[in-house]
Structures are given as structure tokens and as C-alpha cells.
Homo-oligomer: A and B are copies of this chain.
Amino acid sequence: MDGPVGREGTVTVATIEGVGAHAGEQVEIRGWLYNKRSSGSIHFLLIRDGTGVIQGVMVKKEVTPELFALADDLTQESSIVVRGTVRADARAPGGYELGITDLRVVQRAAPYPITPKEHGIEFLLDHRHLWLRSRRQHAIMRVRSEVIRAMCDLLDGRGFLRVDAPMLTPSACEGTTTLFKTPYFETTAYLTQSGQLYNEAAAMAFGKVYCFGPTFRAEKSKTRRHLTEFWMLEPEAAYFALDDVVALAEDLVAYVVERVLERRKEELKTLERDVTRLEAVQKPFPRITYDEAVARVRAAGAQMPWGDDFGGDEETVLSKQFDRPVAVTHYPTAVKAFYMQPDPQRPEVVLNCDLLAPEGYGEIVGGGERIHDLALLEQRIAEHSLPREAYEWYLDLRRYGSVPHSGFGIGIERTVTWICGLEHVRETIPFPRLINRLYP
């Protein structure tokens, strides 16, 4: 065996995910004991290695008494290196099991805090560094990774250039009340809430761009949809109009769902996700205006004056009425950010689009056309009492070759929450940051 924990002899080192390529052969697997049950004469060791879980079978009469006793003494999450023969077995979860012939204990784990019994959420979050080892978290993280990869693939394939936006900024995208801030040498820096303004500069330079990275909101919201630190992918394109944005968002979401269905079937099964709900996510998505959305919310029995933004409850009502994401356009200008392009025909609404995920999940995408006229943007900055000097560079984009342009942001955690069918966004990011949670 090569590597730092070696002993004599060489055997193919296999991953559990790839074990099928070695059926009938002797392999070595390096991992951890996930679970164990024993009869008097056989140990069934459930072994995980980060790519999957396999059952290892150790038969008393086939190994030395010392080895059988060693396995008997193993604790949950002990790190072990096992060797054995890969056997096809239709009853086994991955289709294979391992007939163990040798086992070495790298470390016998101390009594593991996360046991098969139920634990409270705060306990699990306190132990997030260990909780990640569970099958369910493994499935979620693999879906998350596939979602990110699929999004980048689609945009790269369409000629969008990745242009990273800065995290530390001198000014706020949508006001300073919900911003984290840090002393920055002689001045103060704010943590970005969105890469959009910088994306607009990049779109004027490179045509079609996207940024992808963490964003921060110091909101005191304690809902199932909020994290203080979350990841967002934001495409932005010069010469794009509202229709282009709706079409791109639709393509992106449909493609991501298709990719997860195709490549993360096992993970969705582990999560007991009803995949028929995901299979229904086909283009075109329904498209309604804010006006119609308000009418629908009212028809569902809620009081809602025209002009209010939708809260979580209204989004839930709306998104339960469709079997796929719904695009809601033309929100009231007054509830949207200063840079949103008013509808020329009806300036009290903007040329925006939010995408609400179905089954009550609500907003996953927000975007639309940006103001490209210098005078109008100056006026809006004044109306919002924003510090003009901090936006001089942003105004420059309207001085030097301004063009109509549009874009959107899609929240990774909300998208993953919906695709996985989870209750709360907190499980969709490796180390969630919440109003009362900064550890581990």
C-alpha cells in the first residue's frame, strides 16, 4: 500500500463509488466506520470513504481471532483501512459488498457525539464539522456541487466570462443598514451584498459576464430562507432586455434541474425527494405580472395592498399554485432597488423579474433591466439619498458608451433547498452562518 499509513503488499486502492469496476477483485478501501452490526459469527461493517457507503462482511472463520476481535471493538467513525473482495450483490445499496480479508485501524474513535438517535438542530449545528459526515449531508453537498458546476457550464458554454466581483466595497448596493463592515486601514469597508454593480462594469467591458461568490447580509431575519452569508451566481449582459433575462433564468434553472436528475439520482433518493416534482420543471415557465400575482394572493384570502413587496407568506402562496418556477415581472418601482429600469409605458413599475420556485419555496432569482440613462440614474440616486460620490464610477458606465443591459442573481442555497426538498436553507451550505451562529 502506498501513502502514509502503509503496510506491506500492494493492492488496488479503490473508492466506494468506483468499486464496481473491480468486481471479483481484491481492493483496499480507506475510510471510516459508519455503522456496525454483528451476529456471533459475522460482522457487518458499514464503511464510508466520502464517495459512498459500502457494507463490508467479515466472517469469523475466515479471519484470525485477533482481527475478528479488533473489528468487534471498533467504534463509530473509527478510521480504518480494509482489504477484501468486491462482490456483486443485488440486495446491497450500491450493488456491491466487500468480503473483508484484512483490516487496519488508523484510529479508534472516541465515543461519537452524533448517534443514530434523534438530535436537536442546535446540537447538530454545533457539530456541523461532524454532521457533514452523515449520508444525508453527503447527498446535499453533492447536489450543491452539481448545481454550481451545471450553472457555470451553461454560462461558460454561452460565452459568459467569469469576472469576479470584489467582496470588500466602499459603498452599498442597496443601503447600508444590512451591511457587515470592517475597519480597512484608514477607512471602512463593507462586505458585498451583491456583485451586480461591478458586474455592470464588467458587462460593458466583456459583453456577457457572470460573477460567482459569497455575499453577505446582516439582516436580523430568522427564517428558513435566510443566511447571513450565502453564495450567489450573477450573470449580466450588455444589450440584454427583460425578455432575455427571463429566458436565460429559465434555461439556467431548467438545465440545473435536468443535470441533478441525471447525475445525482442516488442523492435525491437518499433525500427521499419526490423526483416527479423535479421532472415537471420544463420550459416554458409560467410568467405573470406583479398585478396578477397580487390578484392571486388576494384570491387566496390574504390582505395585500398594491405596492407592497411579497413577504415569505405571499411567495409561498404564489409558488404553490404552479408546478414549476413562475416568473413574476413588473414590480412596483417603489419597492425595488434604485438601479431598476422603470417601464417606459408605466413608470410606476420596473422591468424586473423574480423567479419563484414551486412547492412553496419562493424566490430563487431576482433581476431585470438596469437603468442605462445617466440623468435618470442620477435622479434615482438622489431620490434614494445615496452618497453620490460613491457611485461616480457606476455613473461613468452611463457616460461612456451606455447600453441597455440586464442581469440577475440566483441564490445557490435557496436553489439547492428547493431541488433537495429541504425545510431550511441551513443544510445546503457546508458551514451555515445565521444571526445566532458563527461556529464552527
The interface of chain A, by Cβ under 8 A from chain B, is 3-5, 15, 17, 30-33, 49-51, 77-79, 106-107, 109-110, 112, 127-130, 132-133, 137-138, 141-142, 144-145, 148-149, 152, 156, 159, 161-170, 180-185, 187, 189, 191, 198, 201-209, 213-214, 216, 218, 220, 228-229, 231, 238-241, 244, 369, 372, 393-394, 396-397, 399-404, 429-431, 433, 435-436, 438-440
For A167, the chain B residues whose CB sits under 8 A away are 167, 191, 214, 216, 229
Contact at B30–A77, with CB atoms within 8 Å? no
Query: B164–A207 contact, CB under 8 A?
Result: no
Chain B nearest CB from A287 CB (Å) reads: 17
CB contacts (< 8 Å) of A396 on chain B: these are 127, 129-130
Q: Known: A50-B205, A239-B4. Contact between A403 and B145, CB under 8 A?
A: no
With beta carbons under 8 angstroms apart, the residue of B130, B180, B185, B241 that contacts A182 is: B180
- Residues in B whose Cβ lies below 8 Å from that of A229: 166-168
Query: Are B182 and A191 in contact, with the CB atoms below 8 A?
Result: yes
Contact A107 B402 (CB under 8 A): yes
Q: Are A393 and B440 in contact (CB under 8 A)?
A: yes
Which 6 residue pairs across A and B have the least CB separation, nearest first?
Answer: A50-B207, A393-B440, A4-B241, A129-B201, A79-B401, A50-B206
CB-defined contacts of A109 to chain B, threshold 8 Å: 399-401
Q: Which residues from B are CB-within-8-Å of A142?
A: 161
* Minimum distance in angstroms from A431 CB to a CB of chain B: 4
Contacts of A168 in B (CB 8 A): 180, 216, 228-229, 433, 438
Q: A180-B189, A239-B30, A429-B164 are in contact. Are A170 and B214 (CB under 8 A)?
A: no
Ordered by A's residue number, 17 sampled pairs between the chains whose C-beta atoms are within 8 Å are: A4-B240, A4-B404, A30-B238, A32-B401, A50-B208, A107-B401, A112-B400, A129-B394, A130-B396, A130-B400, A132-B206, A144-B162, A145-B163, A164-B231, A164-B429, A185-B435, A393-B440
Beyond contacts A50-B207, A79-B403: 13 other A-B pairs, Cβ-Cβ < 8 A, are A4-B241, A15-B159, A17-B159, A77-B401, A109-B400, A110-B400, A127-B396, A138-B206, A144-B162, A170-B440, A213-B213, A214-B214, A393-B439
A436:B162 contact, CB within 8 angstroms: no
- Complex contacts, A17 vs chain B, CB 8 Å: 159
Q: How far is the CB of A380 from chain B (nearest CB, A)?
A: 18
Q: What is the total number of copies of this protein in its complex?
A: 2
Residues of B within 8 A of A137 (CB): 205
CB pair B148 A430 closer than 8 Å: no
Nearest opposing residue in chain B for A188, CB measure: B438
Chain B residue with Cβ nearest A146? B162
A4 contacts B159, CB within 8 Å? no
What residue in chain B is nearest A32 (Cβ atoms)? B401
A430 touches B198 (CB 8 A): yes
User: Could you tell me if B184 and A438 are in contact, using CB atoms closer than 8 angstroms?
Assistant: yes
Q: Which of B145, B207, B397 contacts A31 (CB 8 A)?
A: B207
**Are B129 and A187 in contact, with the CB atoms below 8 A?**
no
Q: How far is the CA of A373 from the CA of B132 in the complex (A)?
A: 21
Does the CB pair B201–A239 fall under 8 Å? no
Question: Which residues of B are found within 8 Å of A132, using beta-carbon distances?
Answer: 163, 201-202, 205-206
Contact B214 A129 (CB under 8 A): no
Answer whether A50 and B161 are a contact pair too, CB < 8 Å, given A15-B207, A401-B79.
Answer: yes
Q: In whole angstroms, what is the CA distance A187 to B30 when docked? A: 40
CA gap between A144 and B211 in the complex, in Å: 13
Closest B residue by C-beta to A242? B4
Q: How far is the CB of A345 from chain B (nearest CB, A)?
A: 13
Choose among B213, B214, B438 the residue that contacts A189 (Cβ–Cβ < 8 A). Answer: B438
Q: In the complex, what distance in Å separates the CA atom of A127 from the CA atom of B189? A: 19
Residues of B within 8 A of A439 (CB): 170, 393
Decide if A181 touches B182 in the complex (CB within 8 Å): yes
| Bound Cα distance from A244 to B2, whole angstroms | 10
Residues of B close to A400: CB separation below 8 A = 77, 109-110, 112, 130
